Every structure is written in C-alpha cells, then in structure tokens.
C-alpha cells in the first residue's frame, strides 16, 4: 500500500497560489524528502497531509485515508513535528511526554511503553524532570522529536526537523531519525531546505519550487542525471540557475 498519495494538489491563500497542482507518492517504510527554498510550498503540503489545512483542489491520501473526508483516521496514524513548534512551558519534559502518550495510547501500559521510548529518543537524562521553560532550543527540539516518534506512527511528518539548530544538535537529530526509521520501519516525510540534510536522510526526494514539483528521484540518481556533485547543484540546474562553482549550503 502507498503510504502517501498526492494528486494535483492545489492550495490558494486568497490571491496567492501556494500549490499549483503537485503530485507525488511515498512507499511504505521510505524516508521521503520534500526539498525547496523558503516559500516553495513545502509546509503547505505538509499541513494539508496533517489535516491542518484543506486543499483548494486535488486530493491527498495517507495509507488509503483521504485527508479531508477521513481526517480523524489520518490523525490517528500520523505524527507531525512542525517547523516552529514548542512544548508546554509549565510542564516538565517527562510530564509533556506522558501527556502526549496518554492521548495516543488507550491503556496505561501502552502509554508507559511510549514514554519509555520517548525518554530514550530524547536522551535528556535528568533534565527531563525540569520544566520545558528551562530548556535550550536544541533540547526542546529533541523532546519534540521524541514526542513525535515515541508513538510509533505509521507516517512521521517532520517539517525542517533540524532547522535553526547548531551542528551538534542537528547531527544528533538526523542520526536519531535515520536509526528510528531503520529499527522501527516507520515511513517518513521530511521537508527541508537543507540539501545536505536531505541527502543524508532520504531514500527519495522531490524538488519543489514556486508551488510545483520540478523533479523527483533518489538523491544519487538525480546527481547522476544532472552531473552534479550534490543536491544543491541539482536544484539549481533544475530551476535553470547556473552557478560558476559549487558553494557550501546551509548546514554544510
């Protein structure tokens, strides 16, 4: 079964067309990357798949469930980490994980299992007993990632998972995602404008620009196709911008 099916998806915000008919598929167990510059339509696509926004036209399915008609069922099998997310500041990290686990698990035993997994993923040690308001940005992001993964969703949707983090925190988060996907077989949809991150994480990627998918395939395949050293060069060539020599991108 396809984990995600997106067909001719369009989204208008008033006069602004954020998505102009995008289509792609994600196979079960795959880490799929949606990459493109700021404002390309990545977050809008993710918000439609997470049932937060409704498409203007086209359709999207998650494991066969329509995101509009069957939104409740979609929410039951996905887990979403927004780009700019926070946790409840007056709760401790542990209380936050418990609160979230209780909403996913229907019994206490299952909920405790989720919390145990969350504690391992977050890897914050004793600091989990402190209030979230005392956490650094990196610690909060680790807690939120742990929250998203501990429920073992069928599809984890991560919007810029390591955005704004220092090199060590970003590296740890990417490693965690990769390991979790390998060990648990969870399907991932990751959006990023960091090409290095995507190359490291994803089995397949779709390049999105100005609301349209401009190219898709495995990172190695795309590099070969365009004779490029990295995905950044691929992207620039796809959108028709020539750069005299490669330069380092964000996070590189």
Partner 1 sequence: MSDFWVLARKEIMNLVRDKKLLFGLIIVPLILYPAMGKMIQVGFEQAQEETHVAIVNFDEGRYGELLIKALNVTPNVTVTVIGAESLQDALEKASREEQNVLVIIPSNFTYAIENNLRAEIEIYGIFNTIGTGMRESVSETRIRAVVDVLSEELAKIKVKRAGFDNPEAVLESVGAVSKSVIRGRIVDVPPSIVSSVLASQSLSLPLIVFLMVTITAQMSAGAVAAEKENKTLETLLTLPVKRRTIVASKIAGTAVMGLVAALAYMIGLRNYLGNFQADAGISLEDLGLGITPEGMLLFAVIVFLTIVFALALAMLLAVYAEDVQSANTVVSSVILPLAFPAFLLMFVDLSQLPAFARYGLLAIPFTHPIAAYRYAVTGEYQMMLLSIAYLALVGGATLYLTARIFSSEKVLTAKISWGKGKKGVL
Residues contributing to the site for partner 1 (CB under 8 A): 13-14, 16, 18, 47, 50-54, 72, 75-76, 78-82, 84-91, 95, 99-100, 102-104, 131, 144, 147
What are the structure tokens assigned to 194, written together?
A: 């960091």
**Pick 27 or 89: Cβ nearer partner 1:** 89
Q: How many CB atoms lie within 10 A of CB 243?
A: 10
Q: Give Cβ neighbours of residue 31 (< 8 Å, ≥ 6 apart).
A: 177, 178, 181, 187, 188, 190, 201, 202, 203, 204
144/206 with CB nearer partner 1: 144
Q: Where are the beta strands (DSSP E) in the chain?
A: 2-13, 16-27, 31-35, 57-62, 65-66, 78-81, 155-159, 187-192, 204-209, 212-217
Question: CB 9 → partner 1: shortest distance, Å?
Answer: 15
CB 96 → partner 1: shortest distance, Å?
Answer: 9
Instruction: Report in angstroms how near the CB of residue 45 gets to partner 1 at its nearest.
Output: 14
> Which lies closer to partner 1 via its Cβ, residue 159 or residue 215?
159
- Distance, in Å, from the CA atom of 33 to the CA atom of 188, rounded to the nearest integer, reads 8
In angstroms, the CA 106 to CA 60 distance is 28
Provide the β-strand partners of residue 187. Answer: 155
Indicate the residue among 145 and 202 with the shorter CB distance to partner 1. Answer: 145
Q: How far is CA 110 from CA 92, 101, 145, in A?
A: 21, 8, 19
Distance of closest approach, residue 76 Cβ to partner 1, in angstroms? 4
Nearer to partner 1, 79 or 216 (CB): 79
**Least gap, CB of 72 to partner 1 (angstroms):** 7
Q: How far from each other are the two terminal CA atoms of the chain, in whole angstroms?
A: 36
DSSP H or E segment with residue 225: helix 219-226
Cβ-in-10-Å burial (0-12, 13-18, 19+) of 198 comes to: buried
Shortest reach from residue 82's CB to partner 1, in Å: 4
Q: Is residue 168 within 8 Å of 155, Cβ to Cβ?
A: no
- Residue (122 or 196) nearer to partner 1, CB: 122
Q: Return the bridge partners of 212, or none.
A: 209
Residue 90 or 252 having the CB closest to partner 1:
90
DSSP 8-state secondary structure symbol assigned to residue 212 = E
Q: What minimum distance in Å lies between the beta carbon of 51 and partner 1?
A: 7
């Amino acid at each position: 079964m396809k984990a995600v099916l997106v067909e001719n998806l369009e989204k208008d915000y008033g006069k602004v067309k954020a998505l102009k008919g995008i289509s792609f598929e994600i196979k079960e167990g795959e880490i799929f990357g949606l990459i493109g510059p700021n404002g390309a339509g990545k977050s809008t696509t993710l918000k439609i798949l997470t049932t937060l926004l409704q498409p203007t036209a086209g359709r999207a399915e998650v494991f066969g469930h329509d995101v509009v008609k069957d939104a409740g069922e979609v929410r039951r099998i996905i887990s979403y980490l927004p780009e700019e997310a926070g946790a409840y500041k007056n709760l401790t990290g542990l209380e936050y994980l418990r609160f979230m686990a209780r909403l996913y698990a229907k019994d206490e035993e299952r909920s405790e299992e989720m919390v145990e997994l969350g504690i391992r993923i977050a890897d914050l040690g004793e600091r989990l007993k402190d209030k979230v308001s005392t956490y650094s940005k990196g610690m909060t992001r680790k807690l939120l990632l742990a929250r998203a993964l501990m429920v073992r969703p069928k599809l984890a949707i991560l919007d810029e998972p390591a955005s704004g983090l220092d090199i060590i925190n970003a590296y740890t988060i990417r490693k965690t995602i990769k390991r979790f996907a390998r060990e648990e077989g969870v399907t991932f949809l990751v959006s990023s404008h960091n090409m290095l991150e995507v190359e490291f994480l994803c089995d397949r990627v779709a390049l999105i620009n100005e609301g349209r998918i401009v190219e898709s395939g495995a990172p190695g395949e795309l590099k070969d196709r365009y004779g490029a050293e990295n995905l950044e060069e691929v992207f620039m060539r796809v959108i028709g911008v020539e750069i005299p020599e490669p330069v380092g991108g964000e996070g590189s």
